[in-house]
Chains A and B, each alone.
Chain A
Amino acid sequence: MTILQIAALSAVALAGGAVVAAPDPLRQTMVLGIYGLTLTMLFFVFQAPDVALSEIVVSTVGLPVMILLALRKINEQERQRRDAEGGEDP
């Protein structure tokens, strides 16, 4: 195992832990993107450039876009629900 491979494996382990540890879903999405980048490096140093190419686009563009849009929708709905409740209570 070369130094690069050890470094890539450690980076994946660290970033994976960071994804779990991130408290706020919005930040978690950003950390998830960084985790995808470390995975990309891992695939690259383990000589799987095809997988690295897929991973870099899916994890840094494809997935975060969907999660961010879903988060925005959820926030909007919760705001609407709060507004509706606030209007009825008094």
Chain B
Amino acid sequence: MSRRARLMLFGGSAVGLAIVLVLGLRGLPGFGDYHGVYGRVLSGIGVTERHATDVVTALNFDFRGFDTLGEEFILFGSVLGVVLILREMRDEHEQPSQAEAEEHRFAGPSEALAALAIGLVPGMIALGVYIVVHGQLTPGGGFQGGIVLASGPLAIFLAGGYLRLKLSSPHTLIEIADAVGAAGYALVGLGGLVFVGVFFKNFLPFGIPGHLLSAGQMDIASVAVGFEVNGAFLVAWSEFLDQTILVTRGSGS
């Protein structure tokens, strides 16, 4: 197709798209005008019926807990895929020498970067734990807190190189965290099935709104998701790191 014909095709489709878009956008409700019934009902009963002051967490871990189970396993499955794709191939080999791995520390961190990263690690871990356990009280929850927690070991990598990251989060441990978290979340759902007869129906006392141990199963679900997300991101990152730093092609070296 000549350049002229392509431009004409583009011009025609662009005008068509613009017309459809303008017509569609004209039918939208005004800015900030919300008509959904479901959302209004949920934000009304989040505190009174579930004793959770953060309605988003109540939605994720209670009202639509089953949807979150699917999301959990999307993450779990994608990390499995990453592990599978980035595994050691037949013509590749992992360099066993520690000195070699120590050399590949991204040109070495400057002292300022190392000091900053090390200083950030305790704060990140504390913040991550806080976000995970306060899921039902304040914005955040297992997912957000889990990645903040995973960033802690990553900061160790920035500050001290690859081997210290491996020391602080060995592969077996983070894989177990990933699996235990995913299984734990499914078990919370099964608990509902066993004790009250409905999958993901709350089976724990709701407690007093605003207290750390309140809102029934949400706390446990949040901690389980925290483990899962933390493990999942660490597994994915360390697979990438292994592939980049340790694995070389047999023919190349």
Residues of A within 8 A of B (CB): 1, 49-50, 52-54, 57-58, 61-62, 65-66, 69-70, 72-73, 76-77, 80, 83-84
Q: Is the CB of A54 within 8 A of B143?
A: yes
Q: Is the CB of A69 within 8 A of B140?
A: no
Q: Is the CB of A77 within 8 A of B249?
A: yes
Residues of B within 8 A of A (CB): 31-32, 54, 56-57, 131, 139-141, 143-144, 147-148, 151, 154, 233, 236-237, 240-241, 243-244, 249, 251-252
Contact of B144 among A50, A69, A83 (CB under 8 A): A50
Q: How many CB-defined contacts (below 8 Å) exist between A and B?
A: 52
Residues from chain B with Cβ under 8 Å of A70 in the complex? 240, 244
Contact of B139 among A53, A58, A66 (CB under 8 A): A53
Residue of B nearest to A61 (CB): B151
Residues from chain B with Cβ under 8 Å of A66 in the complex? 236-237, 240
Task: Kindly provide the distance from the CB of B142 to the nearest chain A CB, expressed in whole angstroms.
Answer: 11
Q: Which of B54, B141, B144: most chain A Cβ within 10 A?
A: B144
- Cα distance A5–B233 when bound, in Å? 32
Residues from chain A with Cβ under 8 Å of B144 in the complex? 50, 53-54, 57
Q: Is the CB of A69 within 8 A of B241?
A: yes
Q: Is the CB of A58 within 8 A of B154?
A: no
Q: Is the CB of B141 within 8 A of A50?
A: yes
5 tightest A-B CB contacts, nearest first: A49-B139, A53-B144, A57-B147, A69-B240, A80-B252
Residue of A nearest to B56 (CB): A50
Task: Kindly provide the distance from the CB of B233 to the nearest chain A CB, expressed in whole angstroms.
Answer: 6
- 14 of the cross-chain contacts (CB-CB < 8 Å) are A1-B32, A49-B139, A49-B140, A50-B54, A50-B57, A50-B144, A61-B154, A62-B147, A66-B236, A66-B237, A66-B240, A72-B244, A76-B244, A77-B249
Known contacts A62-B147, A80-B249; A53 and B140 CB within 8 A of each other: yes
